């Protein structure tokens, strides 16, 4: 069943190693290749963010006097951060790496399809990077609203196909993962003993399967309208511009939960491990929290369109449903806090990121409430207040969870320990940087700064605050570099990691470090008493 010791000791040559990596169909290696791609996307998109902030740092044209160039930066920043960094890091890297290990399976149900979704994603990255090379690059933000996206001279087709490649990659991955979770669990692993992360991944992929096709249809019709001359979004010929906004946000609001669910699931696992505590209210978290978010996520999208000319009865209804979705999200938060309560907490780097996540997510969540209320939203819609809100709640909080998970899994993935000191320094600088940047952005937004403006001659009094935001952006950049250095340092100079450095009860830590092909020496058979969070109360 298991590779012989002799086979393991045999060292493959460089060419063979490279072939084994590039053509791999093993879920752990695919996961790591996903991580590399998403971190690369994060780096480039982060650079775009820095360019955007330098441009806004002072009044008047700073880096460019061409608003079109600014639009391309915004396009790349938004599209790459969401489609090429967050979703792949969560549903590509973490789900691929962890789910088969957590459910005690040898691999995914379809290893080749798994590789296909990886390389489709990479094809999407290639397409996104070509933005910088091709003439007339796409400049339609990550939303691609018509009529601008139809009238612009930019290459909207590249935007559409990037979405298609990433979307198809997610759908293929989703089918694969759901089949794996349903049919490949180790004997004795009942559904109510799954890690929260596995549950939340399941929820995220159910959302992907249902909602991505709608986005695919929306951008496809955009393509038809622009290049084949159909009239979906042409009011002069019976089309409807708002139709696109509805279809787009019908996917893209649930996409927020696609990002949120695995994030919070991972945070649950980290918190339970380092608080050495069972997950508080497991059933309520799974069925009420994750299940509730999945069920309600498709009924709130109009809150993105409060100023788009919706009838009042829809706006009021969607305001209520938006406020109601804070109940399942609240259950998840209560679960997290309850898990911390009376735990034996160790503040390692991953735990710091988890706690940081809770704080940032709380700020993001609370500032979501005024955004959800139609009357207030009419005033703050399309201002920097909204930008700050969604950066807190999905950009920054999620990035904290992703970095935390990379630290958490670092020993398992690489077989080496990272340096706690370097990790903690990186964390605190990042934490300071994001709060300086995005909290100031709330204030700027509330004072009326609109989003997507490349200059703000009308608001000269905001220049000081914009300076502060730009300084914060630099601090984030420095922190990102430090974090990267801490990983490289760990890879090169880290101590050898034991199989279970964190003392976790979860299945992925029972195999050797790093896990061999086939994951487990013998397929785990789980007893009645076993539970991934089975830490005794007495500890």
Partner 1 sequence: MNEYAVEHEISGHEPHWETSPWPLVLSMAMLFVFPFAFSLYFVYGKPIMAILSLGIGIPLTVLSVAGWISEGVGQTREPGYSVKAMPFFIVAEAFIFVAFFVGYWVMRLSASSWPPAGTPEIALTVPIIMTIVLVSSSFTIHLSEQKMEHGDRGGFLMWLIVTIILGTLFLGLSMNEYSHLFAEGFNFKTNAYSTAFFSITGFHASHVFVGIAMFICILIPALMGKMSKSFVKSASMYWHFVDIIWFFVVTQVYFWS
Residues 225-264 that bind partner 1 (CB under 8 A): 227-232, 237-240, 243, 247
- What is the residue-wise DSSP string for 400-438? HHHHHHHHHHHHHHHSBPPPHHHHHHHHHHHHHHHHHHH
Asked, as a colleague might, if the bond just before 55 is cis with ω within 30 of 0, I would say no
The CB-of-290 to partner 1 minimum distance in angstroms stands at 18
The 78-107 site mask, x for binding partner 1 (CB under 8 A), equals: ---------------------------xx-
| Among positions 15, 135, 311, 536, the unique one binding partner 1 when judged by CB under 8 A | 135
3-class secondary structure, 496: strand
Q: Which stretch binds partner 1 (CB under 8 A): 81-89, 122-130, 142-150, 283-291?
A: 122-130
Binding residues among 416-455 for partner 1 as defined by CB under 8 A: none
253 token code pair: 């609001």
Candidates 98, 219, 115; CA nearest to 515 is 98
Binding footprint of partner 1, residue count (CB under 8 A): 81
- What is the residue-wise DSSP string for 521-536? SS-----SS--TT---
Choose between 109 and 444: whose C-beta lies nearer to partner 1: 109
Choose between 210 and 471: whose C-beta lies nearer to partner 1: 210
| Among positions 110, 280, 509, 535, the unique one binding partner 1 when judged by CB under 8 A | 110
Which H or E run contains 219?
helix 196-223
35 token code pair: 């991580």
Q: Which stretch binds partner 1 (CB under 8 A): 169-177, 330-338, 356-364, 377-385?
A: 169-177
Which residue blocks in 233-392 are alpha helix, DSSP H? 241-275, 282-283, 291-296, 312-324, 326-340, 349-372, 374-380, 384-390
Q: Which stretch binds partner 1 (CB under 8 A): 71-79, 219-227, 412-420, 443-451?
A: 219-227
Helices 326-340 and 241-275, interaxial angle, to 10°? 10
- Cβ contact 384:451 at 8 Å: yes
Up-side HSE of residue 61: CA atoms within 13 Å toward CB?
A: 8
Q: Which stretch binds partner 1 (CB under 8 A): 140-148, 222-230, 411-419, 504-512?
A: 222-230
Question: Residue 391 gets which letter from DSSP?
Answer: I
The CB-of-205 to partner 1 minimum distance in angstroms stands at 9
Choose between 452 and 521: whose C-beta lies nearer to partner 1: 521
Binding residues among 11-70 for partner 1 as defined by CB under 8 A: 19-20, 22-26, 29
Binding residues among 499-518 for partner 1 as defined by CB under 8 A: 516-518
Binding residues among 146-165 for partner 1 as defined by CB under 8 A: 155, 157-158, 161-162, 164-165
Choose between 243 and 334: whose C-beta lies nearer to partner 1: 243
């Amino acid at each position: 069943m298991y590779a012989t010791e002799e086979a393991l000791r045999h060292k493959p040559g460089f060419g063979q190693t490279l072939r084994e990596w590039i053509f791999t169909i093993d879920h752990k290696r695919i996961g790591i290749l996903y991580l590399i791609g998403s971190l690369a996307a994060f780096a480039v998109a982060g650079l775009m963010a820095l360019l955007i902030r330098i441009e806004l740092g002072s009044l008047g044209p700073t880096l460019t006097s061409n608003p079109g160039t600014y639009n391309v930066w915004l396009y790349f920043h938004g599209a790459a951060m969401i489609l090429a960094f967050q979703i792949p890091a969560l549903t590509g890297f973490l789900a691929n790496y962890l789910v088969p290990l957590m459910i005690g399976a040898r691999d995914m149900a379809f290893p080749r399809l798994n590789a296909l979704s990886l390389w489709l994603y990479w094809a999407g990255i290639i397409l996104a990077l070509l933005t910088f090379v091709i003439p007339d690059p796409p400049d339609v933000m990550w939303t691609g609203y018509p009529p601008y996206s139809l009238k612009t001279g930019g290459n909207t087709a590249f935007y559409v196909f990037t979405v298609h490649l990433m979307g198809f990659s997610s759908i293929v991955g989703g089918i694969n993962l759901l089949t794996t979770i349903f049919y490949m669990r180790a004997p004795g692993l009942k559904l109510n003993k799954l890690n929260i992360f596995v549950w939340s991944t399941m929820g995220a992929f159910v959302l992907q399967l249902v909602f991505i096709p709608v986005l695919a249809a929306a951008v496809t019709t955009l393509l038809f309208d622009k290049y084949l001359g159909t009239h979906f979004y042409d009011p002069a010929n019976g089309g409807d511009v708002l139709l696109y906004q509805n279809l787009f946000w019908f996917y893209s609001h649930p996409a927020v939960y696609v990002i949120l669910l695995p994030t919070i699931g991972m945070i649950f696992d980290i918190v339970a491990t380092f608080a050495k505590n069972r997950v508080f209210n497991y059933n309520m978290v799974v069925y009420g929290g994750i299940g509730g978010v999945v069920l309600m996520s498709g009924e709130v999208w109009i809150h993105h369109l409060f100023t788009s000319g919706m009838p009042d009865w829809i706006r009021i209804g969607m305001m209520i449903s938006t406020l109601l979705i804070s109940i399942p999200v609240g259950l998840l938060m209560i679960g997290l806090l309850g898990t911390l309560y009376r735990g034996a907490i160790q503040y390692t780097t991953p735990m710091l990121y988890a706690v940081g996540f809770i704080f940032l997510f709380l700020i993001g969540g609370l500032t979501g409430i005024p955004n959800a209320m139609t009357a207030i939203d009419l005033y703050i819609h399309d201002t920097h207040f909204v930008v700050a809100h969604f950066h807190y709640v999905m950009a920054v909080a999620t990035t904290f969870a992703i970095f935390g998970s990379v630290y958490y899994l670092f020993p398992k993935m690489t077989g080496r320990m990272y340096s706690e000191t370097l990790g903690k320094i990186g964390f605190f600088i990042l934490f300071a940087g994001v709060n300086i940047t995005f909290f100031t952005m709330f204030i700027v937004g509330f004072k009326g700064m609109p989003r997507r403006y490349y200059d703000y001659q009308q608001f000269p009094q905001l220049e000081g605050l914009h300076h502060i935001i730009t300084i914060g952006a630099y601090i984030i950049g420095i922190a990102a570099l430090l974090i990267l250095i801490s990983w490289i340092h760990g890879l090169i100079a880290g101590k050898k990691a034991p199989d279970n450095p964190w003392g976790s009860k979860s299945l992925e830590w029972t195999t050797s470090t790093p896990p061999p092909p086939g994951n487990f020496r013998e397929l785990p058979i789980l007893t009645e008493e076993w539970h991934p969070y089975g830490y005794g109360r007495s500890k």
